[in-house]
Amino acid sequence: MGTIRVRFILVALVVSFFAVGMAAFLNYFKYKSTIGNIVKSRVLVVGRGIENSIQASMQLGMQFSELSQLAQMMQREKSSDRLVRGIDVFDYSGQVIYSTDRARVGQKVAASWTQAAERSKTTEWTTEATDEFVAGISLRNAFDLTVGFLALRYSRDEVELAAAKAGREILLAAIGSFLGIAIVAPLALIIVIRRFEHDLHALEAAATHLEDRTESTLVTTSAFDTSIGHLRASLRDANKSLDDMRAKLDSAG
């Protein structure tokens, strides 16, 4: 196989690898972000229920730090969805006031939680911990002032296992199509570059006997015929001149 043909095939393979790889990458990340959003919004539905309850209590005049039934309600809501690992309510300083996990009450949440909540332009915010995701809601009173934050911790596994499974399938599809291309593209390229290779062969064949002056006949019409004609004519002319000189030298004895 000619080196030029190999290079063209390599180009096809590199481009296909890029395109198929990008398509697989896009599909995988779209899946991952979609499933992440679905799971997050599912968790936030649970959170909205708690938020409504807190706001209703505050509208009745209760203080944010005195919602005695809240812990119980949070426990109930947590058990309504197996995905939710724990629910915390914390104040501006990051101190947990209510939690489904008693040991967490009084402790401080990671600074990234409060930062994410403050950065968010809506009442919803998200952040990540080492082994869990956190979806949160900023709790506002009747005057639209933020009084605290509700955080729902849920397992990363749900999202990551689903993404890994989908990722494997998308990868297999991508590998399959790439292998398909690796077989089809070279064949298609060979057909397309036949004419070009024919031109190159014509050129090579024409140049084969330049040295020993036994000119091969031009194969067929090729894009290089004119050039080959000029090349041969020049060499013929030069050789003829040298032959002439040889003859004159020989005749001089």
Partner 1 sequence: MLEKNYLWRIYWRLAGVIMVCVVIALAVVSFFSHRVFDRELVPEVEQKAATVANSVRALLLKATSYGVPFDKLYGVEQTFGEVFEENPEFSYAAVTDLDGNLLFARGKEPQGVRDFFRQPAIIAVGLDPTATWTPSHTGQQYFVSMPIASDKPLGMLHIGIDGKFVDNILLEVMLDVVVVLVVSLFFTLELLNFMAGARLASGLGEFAQQVERMRAGDFTATARIRANDEIGRLLRRIDAAIDHLNVRYEFLVGELEDKMRTATGPRREALRPAMNVLENIRSRLRFGSAPKEAEGDEMNLNRIRAPLFAFILAEEMTRSYLPTYVNQLLVPLWGISPQVVIGLPIMLFMLIVALGQPYLGSWSERVGRRRAMLIGASIATVGFAATALAINLYDLLLWRSLCALGYAMVFVAAQGYVLDRTGQQNRAQGFALFIGAIMVATVCGPSIGGILADNIGFRLSFAVSAVMALTSLLAIARLPKVEVRTNTSQRPSRGPRMREILALLVNKRFMTLTGLAAVPAKVILTGVCFYLVPLYIVSIGNTSAMAGRLLMVYAVMMVLIVPLSASLSDASMRRDRYVSVGLIISGLSGLLLLISDSFLVLFGVVFLLGLGQALSIAAQSALVADHCQEEIRIYGHDAVYGVYRLLERLGNALGPLIASILVIFWGYQGAFIAISAMVLVCGIAFTIATRGLDWQPQPAT
Residue (107 or 245) nearer to partner 1, CB:
245
Cα 141 to Cα 149: distance, rounded to the nearest angstrom? 12
Q: What does the DSSP assignment read for 179-210?
A: HHHHHHHHHHHHHHTHHHHHHHHHHHHHHHTT
Stretch that binds partner 1, among 87-95, 100-108, 125-133, 203-211 (CB under 8 A): 203-211
Among 69, 165, 216, 221, binds partner 1 (CB under 8 A): 165
Residue 114 has a CB neighbour count (10 Å cut-off) of 21
Cα 68 to Cα 209: distance, rounded to the nearest angstrom? 102
The count of chain residues that interact with partner 1, using the rule CB under 8 A, is: 84
69 is a site residue for partner 1 (CB under 8 A): no
* DSSP label of 248: H
Residue (31 or 64) nearer to partner 1, CB:
31
Among 62, 71, 105, 207, binds partner 1 (CB under 8 A): 207
Nearest to 16 by CA among 154, 244, 180: 180
Distances (CA, A) of 219 to 29, 203, 212: 55, 9, 19
219 is a site residue for partner 1 (CB under 8 A): no
Among 129, 166, 218, 219, binds partner 1 (CB under 8 A): 166
150 is a site residue for partner 1 (CB under 8 A): no
Strand order in the sheet with 132-140: 96-99, 84-90, 146-155, 132-140, 124-128
Beta strand 96-99 with 124-128: parallel, antiparallel or unpaired?
unpaired
Cα 222 to Cα 227: distance, rounded to the nearest angstrom? 10
Q: Shortest approach of partner 1 to residue 24 CB, angstroms?
A: 6
Residue 70 has a CB neighbour count (10 Å cut-off) of 20
**Footprint of partner 1 on residues 71-100 (CB under 8 A)?**
80-81
Q: Shortest approach of partner 1 to residue 84 CB, angstroms?
A: 10
Stretch that binds partner 1, among 59-67, 86-94, 139-147, 240-248 (CB under 8 A): 240-248
Stretch that binds partner 1, among 104-112, 128-136, 147-155, 183-191 (CB under 8 A): 183-191
Q: Shortest approach of partner 1 to residue 95 CB, angstroms?
A: 26
Residue (108 or 165) nearer to partner 1, CB:
165
Residue (79 or 107) nearer to partner 1, CB:
79
48 is a site residue for partner 1 (CB under 8 A): yes
